[in-house]
Amino acid sequence: MASGGAGLTWSWRNFAVGIVFGAPAAIATAIDPSVGLPLAVGVLPAAILGMRGPRAERVRIILIGFVAGASMFVGSLLAPLPIVAVPVIFALCVLVAGASADAHRRLAPLNLALGLPLVGAGLSVSSPASGALTGLLLLTGSVYAWLVSLLWPSIHDDAPRPPRRLAQRAAMVRYGVQIGLAAAVAAALGFALGADHPGWGVTAALLVSRPDEALLHSRGLARSIAVVAGAIVACAVAAFEPSGPVLALLAVAALAGAAATSGSRWYVTAFFSTIIVLSLLELSGEHTSSYWFAERVGLTLAGVALAFAAAWIAPRVGHALRARHRSIAQ
C-alpha cells in the first residue's frame, strides 16, 4: 500500500523490501564501513527500481551493478593521473552520449545515466586496487538484491510502455560536449583544490544533467536541496559520535527510505544516498564533520552550477558556430 501527496509517495511494502535489501550492508557497516558502503550502494538501484514487472526482467539489477562496479574501477584508474583524467572524462561523455542515440547499443543509456556519474565517483577512490574491490562489492550487492527480488511476486503494469525515443546522433554528440565540459571542469576543480573526494562535483554535474533543459533546472534544484538536507542529517548524527550498530541502523533506514519513496516525483534519492556516504566517511576520523559537510556540499553545488552553466553556454556556442558555417557556405 502506498500513500503520499502530490510529489512524495510512500510504500510500506517497498520499505520492507528495502530493509531486506539493506540487511547485509548494515551488518558489514557495523564491522567495516569500507565493505558496507559499496554493498549499500550496490543494492540502492534495486531499492529504487522496486519490484515492478516480471521476475525475468529483474536480472537488469545485476547489469546495473556490473556497470556501476566497472565505472567505479575506471574512475579509480584515472584518479592518480589528473592530467589524463580531465580530458578522458570529457571524451567518455562525448562517446557515451553519441552512442546512446543508437538503438542497438542497449547499454549506452545506462552508461549515460549511471556509468558516467560513477566514473566521477571513482576519482575519489584511493587506488585502483581499492577501485577493483569496490566494484566487486557493488556487483556483489546487486547480485544479492537480484536474488532477494525473486522472492517477491511479479507486479504487472497493464499500461502500455511508449517506445524509447531516440534523439538524433548529432544532438546527442552536442549534449556529450555539454556534459563533458561540465564534468571535466568539475574534475579539474576537485583536483586543483586538493579535495579528498575530487569526483563528487563530477558526479553531481552528470547526475543532474539532462538533454531537456527544463528537466535539468527542476532536477538541479531538487538535487541541491536533497544533498544539503542529507548532509545536515549525517553531520548531526556524527556530532553524537554514534557506535557501529547505530550507524548500521542508519544505513539500513536510509536504504529502506529510498525504497519506500521510489515512486515519488520529488527527487529524494540524493537525500538518502548522501546520508549513507557522509555517515560512513565520518568513521575515518581524519576530518571533522564540518569538513565533510563543506567538501561534500560545496563540490556538489559546484557540480550543479557547472551543469547549469554548460547547459546555457554550449547550445549558444553551437548555434553561433552553425550560423557562421552557414554564412561561409553561402
Domain, as residue range, for 249: 7-157+167-329
Which of 20, 128, 43 has the alpha carbon at shortest distance from 81?
A: 128
Report the C-alpha gap between 91 and 171 in whole angstroms: 16
**Prediction pTM value:** 0.79
- Long-range contact list for 289-292, CB < 8 A, 24+ apart? 289/234, 289/235, 289/238, 289/239, 290/235, 292/231, 292/234, 292/235, 292/238
Q: How many residues does the chain have?
A: 330
Three-state DSSP class for residue 98: helix
At 176, list the grid cell. 556529450
Question: Residue 217's pLDDT is what?
Answer: 63
Residue 9: the pLDDT is: 82
Residue 198 in domain: yes
pLDDT at residue 6, as a whole number: 47
Query: Across the 330 residues of the chain, what is the mean pLDDT of every consecutive 10-residue run?
Result: 60 86 89 82 77 74 88 94 96 91 66 86 87 90 88 61 61 90 95 88 85 65 77 78 80 89 75 74 60 77 89 78 67
Nearest Cα neighbor of 130 from 29, 31, 34 is: 34
Confidence (pLDDT) at 119: 93
Decide if 21 is inside a domain: yes
pLDDT of residue 186: 95
> 10 pairs with which residues across the strands?
3
Q: What is the rounded CA–CA span in Å between residue 128 and residue 229?
A: 32
Q: What pLDDT is recorded for position 213? A: 64
- Is residue 183 one of the residues assigned to a domain? yes
Check residue 274 and give its pLDDT: 76
Residue 2 falls within a domain, yes or no? no
CA 288 to chain centre: 25
In 193-288, which ranges are continuous DSSP H helix? 200-208, 213-238, 244-260, 269-281
Residue 102 lies in a domain: yes
Instruction: Determine, yes or no, domain membership for 162.
Output: no
Domain-located, residue 266 = yes
Number of domains present in the structure of the chain: 1
Q: Return the closest-CA partner of residue 51 out of 141, 161, 152.
A: 152
Beta bridge partners of 155: 52, 53
pLDDT value, residue 1: 46
Is 1 inside any structural domain? no
